[in-house]
Amino acid sequence: MGVSGLFMVVSVIWLILMISFGLRRFLLIVAMVWLTLVIWFLMFAFLRMVWILSFMWVIFFLFWLMIAFFCLMVGVFGLIFRMFRLVPVWLLWVRALCLIWMVLFLFWLLFAILNFVVGFFWVVHIWLLLLIFDCSDIFRLIDSNHIAFVVQGFAQDGTC
């Protein structure tokens, strides 16, 4: 599971215990902020791994989708409770936490889409540049360092 996953599990258990035992509101807010920071930490950890393993963004997207689905279910149950005038205090806190998760999910989704678009056009631009100027070593361009080296060489003398 790793350190990040263990940290996340401990955070969720801690938050559930704080909600169920009804400790002070200040401590509950601290727990929610801490859990939000843990989620941000996990998000950036996965974003770092995207550059190493390109399929990791799928796992990350599924992770956030699972959280968003959970938030949607909590929202539906919240509407049902509100219809029957049964709104427990813990549900309000969980709904607030889910709202934070949904906002983070939407920001991550926007960032991932923009990242994909910019990366896609950057790669297409480099490959078209190399095709136009007929570089024979086009299939050796695996990592970004070599691409940067070729672009630098092209900028100096116009050849590959």
pLDDT of residue 4: 54
Percent of the chain with pLDDT over 70: 3
- The token pair at 74 is 């909590």
Say which residue, 160 or 23, is predicted with more confidence: 23
pLDDT of residue 143: 46
pLDDT of residue 128: 63
pLDDT of residue 111: 72
State the average pLDDT over residues 52-69: 58
State the average pLDDT over residues 12-36: 59
| pLDDT surpassing 50 at residue 61 | yes
Contacts of 77 (CB under 8 A, 6+ apart): 91
User: Do 15 and 36 meet the contact criterion of CB atoms below 8 Å apart?
Assistant: no
State the average pLDDT over residues 56-80: 60
User: Do 60 and 122 meet the contact criterion of CB atoms below 8 Å apart?
Assistant: no
Q: Give the alpha-carbon dihedral of 99, 104, 105, 108, to 10 degrees.
A: 170
Domain positions in the chain: 2-157
User: Do 159 and 133 meet the contact criterion of CB atoms below 8 Å apart?
Assistant: yes
| pLDDT surpassing 50 at residue 24 | yes
For the question of whether the overall pTM of this predicted structure is more than 0.75, the answer is: no
pLDDT digits 0-9 by tens, 99-110: 676 667 667 667
Q: What is the mean pLDDT of the chain?
A: 59
pLDDT of residue 87: 59
| pLDDT surpassing 60 at residue 135 | no
The angle at the Cα of 31, spanning 27 to 36, to the nearest 5 degrees, equals: 150
State the average pLDDT over residues 26-55: 57
